[in-house]
Amino acid sequence: MNYIQQQQIYQQQLHQQQLQQQSLDPSSVVSQLAELKNIEKEIKRLSSGLKQLRDRKKVIEERVLLFLQNKNTSGAKTQDMVIMAKETIKRPQKPKDKKEHDVMQILHSGGVQNAKEMYETILNAMKGEEKIKQTLKIKDSNGKTKK
């Protein structure tokens, strides 16, 4: 176990001790649940705002690229910035079933007889270690699940 892992374990243990030392009475639990509800609302609001900003950024970038293409130039300079168009390679993500199919073909062509078993072994090797974590499941007064 390296130093970083030891520090992470120590921090987790310290956090657990702090939680255990804090005894909560029912009124403080209610106030913390109200705070949790407000935090969730704020996260939703901020996420929505970020989506709008990302969409707007994309539109502006497309317009600037179109401007550069129309001017038949790869860049331009303004008072406080330099802009340049450059080509990048993007690979769209394959659907899970397509990935599995492609890997199975490679394993079969490589002479692996139990390709499905080997594929599952490879997937499990790429995953992290399983940990059990308790989470809250919150329902509103109408019985609708929040989280």
pLDDT, mean of residues 128-144: 83
Per the CB < 8 A criterion, the answer to whether 57 and 49 are in contact is no
Domains of the chain: total: 2
Q: What's the domain range around 82?
A: 30-90
145 within a domain of the structure (yes/no): no
pLDDT digits (tens, 9 = 90+) for 24-46: 677 778 888 888 889 999 999 99
109-to-59, 114, 116 alpha-carbon distances in Å: 45, 12, 13
143 within a domain of the structure (yes/no): no
Q: pLDDT at residue 22 above 70? A: no
Question: What's the pLDDT score for residue 98?
Answer: 95
Same domain, 84 and 110: no
Q: pLDDT at residue 129 above 90? A: no
Question: What's the pLDDT score for residue 56?
Answer: 97
| Strand ranges for the chain from DSSP E | 75-77, 82-84
Question: What's the pLDDT score for residue 23?
Answer: 62
pLDDT digits (tens, 9 = 90+) for 69-116: 999 888 888 889 999 998 899 999 999 999 999 999 999 999 988 888
Same domain, 37 and 81: yes
Same domain, 83 and 48: yes
Tokens of 49: 């705002």
Residue 84, SS3 per DSSP: strand
Per the CB < 8 A criterion, the answer to whether 100 and 118 are in contact is no
**What one-letter code names the amino acid at 40?**
E
Question: What's the pLDDT score for residue 99?
Answer: 92
Residue 74 neighbours by CB under 8 Å, 6+ apart: 68, 84, 85, 86
Per the CB < 8 A criterion, the answer to whether 10 and 2 are in contact is no
Per the CB < 8 A criterion, the answer to whether 109 and 2 are in contact is no
